[in-house]
Every structure is written in structure tokens, then in C-alpha cells.
Structure 1
Amino acid sequence: MFVPGWRQNQVLIILVLIALAWLLRKSTEPRLQDWARSREGWPKWRLRLIVQIRRRLFLIWFSIIAGLVYLVMQNVTWPSRSYLIGLSATLSTVWFSIGLAAQLVRNRTLRRTVRWFLWIYATLYFLNALDEIAAFLDRLAIEFGETRISALSVISALVILGVLFAGARLLSRMFTANVRKNQDISPSMQELTTKGVQLLLYGLAFYIGAQAIGLDLTGLAFLYGIIGVGLGFGLQTVVSNLVSGVIILLDKSIKPGDVISLGDTFGWIESLSARYVSVKTREGLEYLIPNEDLIANQVVNWTHSNQLVRLDIYFGTAYDDDPHTVRALAIEASSGVKRVLVHPNAPVCHIVGFGDSSVDYILRFWIGDPTAGLTNVRGNVYLALWDIFKENDISIPFPQREVRLLHEPEAEVSERTDTGNGAPG
């Protein structure tokens, strides 16, 4: 490289191209950013693509100008005099393509690992150094008995398993998306189907990867038995939750979107997993309830067979108000609330007792959307009762107490005074 000649000339040309690509990036990056910000209504994937292109403008400009220089030099001089320039153009193009393709991996750490591995592999491939590196890694080995583990075999195993697991993950996501779109499959069966397919795909990926790297699984049968016994004793709760989760999915007693009550927990089921059920409450808290608790304990499923839920509220009116009028007004008020159903079950109102200060009533009504909340619809019904009672002069009494001060007779007071002031006998 330090001897004057065409090899040194190519290095100098590459350095000039690097400087030129850096200047072009500096001048075009602000314009591209302003242009991208002016795009309205574009889908997110297009905007993300623009961002990735903006981050790699240097590689784009270097690939373009290095490729043009390489084509010109191929036609005006000997091909060997432009070899390094063509190699640099090829590597920059491959690096740019790998950087874009790696964005398909969502996990940030895994994405960086994949990107750097592919960059190194591509560089070694185009430099024709793969055979030398492979031989060097194969010599870095550990041997014990008849088993030999080299750095090359470990790297190959990691790459093969990584590719297979990535493929299994991609296929499981595609299958899950298609199953979610099928409205003919119940939510519980969707969960069961997707979990089964994921287990099958990952199991196949591990088996194929083990066979590809030459791992003999039959020799590990005894080890599997020991591990199974240990897991049976140590993971009883986990296994119980797994079995309970399968039972829940099969009998369809609980499914995503149901409203359930378990002890003091009331909320909506967000998702079903192999070990627990995610329940989100009205306060925004998310409880992870083990599947075993849903099998062993009493669970109130407000939306198991249908969405109809009956609610009861209690109120009282004064004894001077006609109870027939009060009942009719209560039914009318509740029927006018938006979420209260009037068909097939209309609201009803009954007298439940004669209290110390009021005639006590119960108002019963039905709603068809418990997932929208219960307290809010009760509040709206109470507010409607308040308004209609005010309009019709129906009073809502409250407990009252009278305190009377009883004055003592004058004769008793004078007698007690004379006794206290008399001389001792």
C-alpha cells in the first residue's frame, strides 16, 4: 500500500470518495429530513424506511460514486487497476442492504447481533478469507474423550439455531395473525391453537438444529428422564398452572374480553397465557392470576353465556308520596338512561319495606355491555331518579332526630334543696 503504483492510487481514490460521500451526506441529509417531515398521511413503515435511509446516506452516496468510478475505470484502464474501488463499492452496498434487512428483527439486542454478524461474514466472503478464518476457528477446540468441540462448531450451532428459531418465530406470528382475523374461531380456541403451533414450530426448530449440528439426541434419553423427575417435584405449581390453562382453553369457561370477579378483583380479561390470566381492573391495574386459582376457586363470569347483566339499586321516598307514582317514575327514569335495556327485560321497581323514615324500594334493570363499566351506569340511573323526583315533587327523606329538654317540677326541686341545707339530726 505504501509503494507508489496503482494499488496506492486506488487507496487514495477511495479516500477521496469517502470525503466526497461525507460532504454529500452533510448537504442532502437536512433536505431529506425536511422533505420527510412534510409528508402527511404516509404509513409508518414508509416513514421508518426514510429514517433508515437518512441514517445511511453516507453508504448510499459512497456506493453510488464508487460504483460510477469503478465502471469508468473498467472501460478506460486495466480491470486490475480498479479492483479495490469495485470491492469497496460492493462492500458498502452489501453493508447498506444488511442494515435495512436487519430492521426486520424487532428485538434491539438481537438486531445488533445479527447485523454485525452479517457484516463480518459478508466482508470476509468478499475478501475471500472465509476458508482461512474457518480453519483457524476449527483449530480452537476443546477435546475430552471422543468429543471435540471447536469454536467453529459452536458458532455454526448458534447461527443455525438462531436462523431456525427466527424462522419459527416469524411463521408463528404469521399464523397467529391469520387466526386472529378468523371470526369463526372463538377467542379461547384461538389462544389454544396459536400456543400449540408455537410449541410445535419451536420444537421442530430445536430438533432440526440439533440434527444439523450433529447432536445425538438419543444419547440424552437418560438425562431427559432425570430432568423430568426433578421437574415433576420442583415445578408442581408450574405444571398445575399449565394444565389448568389448557383446561380453561378447552372448556371455554373464560376467554379474552370476559368480565370476571375473583375475590376482591373485578376486571376484564386481557389475555390468556400458559401460566396465568391477565385481568385489568377499572383502576388501570393489571393482575396476573394463576390459572390454578381460576380452576380451584369460585369465579363470577359476568359474560360467560351472554352479555346481559342485571343491576339493583335501592332508594327511599317519603310516606306522603304515592308508591304507585314513585314506581312508575322510577321505571320511566331508568328506561331513559342510554345503556339500560327495555327489551327483552324492562326495568321493574318494587317496595321492599317500610323503614323508619321512608318507604324503601328496589329498582332492577338490565344492561348488555358490562365491559363498559357498572358504577357509571348506576350513577346515571341515580341521577335520572333525582331529576324526575325533583320534577314531580317526590321527596327523598333522611333520618331526623328530635331532642326534648324535660324541665323538673318545682316541688321536687325545693324538696331536694331543703334536704341538702338542713341541720344534721
Structure 2
Amino acid sequence: MSLCIAGRRGSLARSAWPRGGRQALDIDTLIDTIYATVPRAQNALSEFAQPWRLYQIAILALAFLIAHVASRMIEPRLEARIRAMEAVPRQRMRFFVTVLRRLRPIIFIVLAWIAVFALRATTWPSRSYLVALVASLVLAWVLVGICGRLIRNRVLRAMITWSAWAFASLAILGQLDTAADMLDAAAISIGDLRISLLMVLKGAVTVALLFAGAGLLSNAAERRIRAVEDITPASKVLADKAIRLFLYGVALFIGLQSVGFDLTSLTVLSGAVGLGIGFGLQKVVSNLISGVILLLDKSIKPGDVISLGDTFGWISELGARYVAVVTRDGREYLIPNEDLITGQVVNWSHSSDLVRIDLKFGVAYSSDPHAVRRLAREAAATVRRVVGDPAPVCHITGFGDSSVDFILRFWIRDPIGGITNVRGDVFLALWDAFKAAGVEIPFPRRDVTILGGDRPAGTGAGAG
């Protein structure tokens, strides 16, 4: 007679297993195992139920209750003081808010460590082990959470914070070496290359940390570059992108090398992947190269006002693949860099911020053209956005069917403010000036003259 364990739910079934099948347990061996396990469980339960263990649990519960009540009382006052702060940098404000959201665990940590020091001063250190363990775990959680807020990328922040908290927890619990051995045992081998789960995790965490550091350095370099006034906007964007590309490339290379990943084994694979990318991403590569050309020749730069087809607006961002153009109606167009290289683009502020605008109008033949020219120049000069140097000019362009045709030319320095609105303002100023001076603005008119005389013979109603 033998007893076996079978089925997914661990049901017991009596059967005789054939040789070479599943392992069979003799009933006497199973009973001995149960009798040996019960005392160990009883010892563990009795050890956990010792008075000092129960006291420590009670101390932790009391510390949590006090921290909860204290945080409910203090948090609204601190939040009001933080909101009342003025001229505080955004990064510092985010730090204050992060600490405020973790006020309860911070108070709990302070109370728990006070209890640990008091217990160690009055009794054996082992009688404060549980309180110190929980306090250390909560402290690690709070520190990792606060430091993780420095990382803006959510994916990197989640990866780094969870990895750091798991590492700290295993180190505090003394299970770091055991967990490392288990992860290293889960591995696959491809030729001479051995990839273990521990290696993958180390590489991911190391690259994430290096990427976070590269991001912080890139942001600091970007702020420094923007503060330099002697560099053109296009050169600033080019320098910023070059620094970011270099730092992220170095971070990836160092991260893979630091975990023992042999990059030479990927030479053939990277060549094949590069060839496939070259054929499949021709447009993407073309846009990337076009973006570099735009930054180098400085034909397009942030802040320029351009016209491309029916799109008129100012450039808000030069990306690696596209140029962001914001129009007057608030729409943001993402124009591929290749279109700006191969197409015809009107840059209203390429070499100078002066932009000339032409207005065509006509007056009646009864008006004095010399007075009309003077009135037009004076009317244009009254509009706020029209500059005085160069001054507005007005010329006769022809004698039309119903009017004497003129063209009014004036200059502005802020095309980013729009063209249609300043045209409208000048037209209104012309209307008011002509109306005050009695100058008539004609509309198309046709005169029909009916010639008299006898009709030719054979015509009329009774002819025929």
C-alpha cells in the first residue's frame, strides 16, 4: 500500500505507481514527516506569539495610528503654506509636494526609530528587531519614492523605483544573495553567450539609471546653452540634440558593458538590422538628415514666421523628424523636415524681421490723386504695428474702368502677430481718412445708352 500526491489541487489518492513513474511515499514516512513538521510550526507560532513580539506589533500599530492622526492635522496647514509661497522654483515646489504626500510614513518612521532607540536603551537589542525592520523598510520606500520624483520619464521612474525598493528590501531582509543566485540560475545559452535573468535585470536597471543621469545632464546643458546669447537659436537646438544623442549613446554602451554583455557578438546581427532599417525607414532617415541640414544652414530656426502652401505660422519647435508650426488659430502643424528642404517655403523673418505688406485700393476720378497719396500714407502711419522707418509709401498703379488704382506699401516688425489683422486695421484707417476728406471709393458701374432712330424696314410685330 502506498500514498501518492496527484492532481492540481493536491488531492490524496491511494495507488501503486509503476517503476520509473512518479515518486511514491510510504504511509509511515508521510506520517513521520507530518509529526516532524507540526512541532516546527508550533515552535514558530509560539516564537511569534512571545510577549516581546506582541509588544513590538502593538508599538508599530500605535505609531501608525499617531502618524495617521498627526498627518491629518498637519498636512492641511503645510499645504496652505506651500500654496502661499511665491517665486519658488518649480523643481523645489515639486519636492515640497512630494514630501507632503508622504507625511504620514515620515512621521511613522520618526516614531518607530524613537521607539527602537528607547527599547535598545532599556532592554535587549533583539527585543526591538521587528520595529527596526519595519522602520527600515518604510524608510527605504520613502527615500526611493522621493528620489524617483527627480526622473521625469514615467517608464524610467517606475523601473528605477521598483528595482531600488526591491533591492533595498532584500538587503534589509538579508535575502539579497539568495535572490541573486535564483535569478542567475535562470539562464539560457546561445553559443558562447550566456544570458541570465539576473544579467537582464542588472542591464535594465543600469541602463535606466544611466539614461536618467543622461537626461538630467542633458537638461542642465540645455539650460546653459539657452542662456548663451551669442549662439543663434538653430545652433542652440543643434548643440542640444548632439549632446543628448552623445550622452544617451554613451549611457547605453556603458550600461551593456557594465553587466558583462559582449557587444562584439552582435556585430553581424547589427549589420543585418541596419540594412533592413536602411530600406524600410528611408523617409525617416531622410527627415533626420533634412533636420540636420536645416539646423546647419540656419534657413529655418525657432521663432521664424513661414508660409508653406496654405499654412502660415511661426515655428515653435525643431524636432528630429518634423518642424512644429503654430498658426494664428492655435493649430499646430507637424511638417516633415524633407518638405522644407525640397519644397518652396516663404520665410518672413529669415534675414530681417521687417516685412512689407501691400494694399490695393481705388478712388473715384473726381478725387485729387496727390491728396489721396498723402491721406493714405498718414492713415497707415496711425496704425500701431506699422513702423515709421521705412515710412509708408503710396503709388498710382493705373487708371481702371471705374477708379484710379493705388497701392499702399508699409512695413511691420512683428509678423508673428499676424498679417490679416494689420491689413484690416490699415483698411479701417483708410476708410476713416477718406470719409473725413470726402474722397469717394467707387464701386463698378456701367452706363447703358439707348440710341434713338427708326428701326430698319421689315422689322416689327406685323412684318412678314
TM-score normalised according to structure 1 size:
0.90
1:270 aligned partner: 316
2:29 aligned partner: none
Post-superposition Cα deviations, 1:344-392, rounded to whole Å, max 9, x if no partner, equal: x221111111122211111111112212211111111111111111111
Task: Report the RMSD for the aligned CA atoms in angstroms.
Answer: 2.6
1:386 aligned partner: 431
Post-superposition Cα deviations, 1:14-63, rounded to whole Å, max 9, x if no partner, equal: 22322332233333334444454555665544544443333222212211
Q: Residues of 2 paired with 1:181 and 1:39: CA distance?
A: 26
Equivalent position to 1:216, from 237, 247, 262: 262
Q: Residues of 2 paired with 1:148 and 1:46: CA distance?
A: 45
Q: Residues of 1 paired with 2:124 and 2:460: CA distance?
A: 142
* Secondary structure of 2:407's aligned partner: strand
Q: Residues of 2 paired with 1:103 and 1:355: CA distance?
A: 71
* Secondary structure of 2:142's aligned partner: helix
* Secondary structure of 2:411's aligned partner: strand
1:396 aligned partner: 441
Post-superposition Cα deviations, 1:269-321, rounded to whole Å, max 9, x if no partner, equal: 11112222111122222222222221112221111111111111011111111
2:226 aligned partner: 180
1:365 aligned partner: 410
Q: Residues of 2 paired with 1:186 and 1:287: CA distance?
A: 24
1:339 aligned partner: 385
Equivalent position to 2:397, from 335, 344, 352: 352
Bigger drift between 236-245 and 85-94 goes to 85-94
- Show the 5 A alignment for 1:229-240: 229-240=275-286
Shift of 1:326: 0.6
Shift of 1:127: 1.6
**Residue 33 and residue 159 in structure 1: after superposition, are their counterparts in 2 closer, same or farther (change >3 A)?**
same
Equivalent position to 2:146, from 89, 100, 103: 100
Letter of the 2:315 counterpart: I
Q: Residues of 1 paired with 2:401 and 2:244: CA distance?
A: 65
Kept in 1, the 8 Å contact 2:160–2:209? The answer is: no
Q: Residues of 2 paired with 1:54 and 1:13: CA distance?
A: 24
Equivalent position to 1:320, from 350, 356, 366: 366
> Per chain length, whose mean CA-contact separation is higher, i.e. which structure has more relative contact order (CA < 8 Å, sep 6+)?
1
- Show the 5 A alignment for 1:12-51: 12-37=58-83, 39=85, 43-51=89-97
* Secondary structure of 1:104's aligned partner: coil
- Show the 5 A alignment for 1:142-157: 142-157=188-203
TM-score normalised according to structure 2 size:
0.83
Kept in 1, the 8 Å contact 2:299–2:350? The answer is: yes
Kept in 1, the 8 Å contact 2:360–2:405? The answer is: yes
Equivalent position to 2:337, from 291, 295, 304: 291
Post-superposition Cα deviations, 1:63-108, rounded to whole Å, max 9, x if no partner, equal: 1211221222122112221122223223322322222111112233
Moved over 6 A (4+): 403-415
2:210 aligned partner: 164
Q: How many residues align?
A: 418
Q: Residues of 2 paired with 1:412 and 1:15: CA distance?
A: 124
1:423 aligned partner: none
Note the residue ranges of structure 2 that are not aligned, 5 or more in a row: 1-46
* Secondary structure of 2:48's aligned partner: coil
**Residue 97 and residue 409 in structure 1: after superposition, are their counterparts in 2 closer, same or farther (change >3 A)?**
same
Bigger drift between 86-95 and 172-181 goes to 86-95
Aligned sequence identity (%) = 52
Note the residue ranges of structure 1 that are not aligned, 5 or more in a row: 421-425
* Secondary structure of 2:315's aligned partner: strand
Post-superposition Cα deviations, 1:132-172, rounded to whole Å, max 9, x if no partner, equal: 11112222222344433222111111111111111111111
Shift of 1:219: 2.6
Bigger drift between 27-36 and 50-59 goes to 27-36
Bigger drift between 356-365 and 17-26 goes to 17-26
**Residue 110 and residue 79 in structure 1: after superposition, are their counterparts in 2 closer, same or farther (change >3 A)?**
same
* Secondary structure of 2:149's aligned partner: helix
Equivalent position to 2:351, from 286, 295, 305: 305
Bigger drift between 233-242 and 46-55 goes to 46-55
Matched, 1:258 2:304: yes
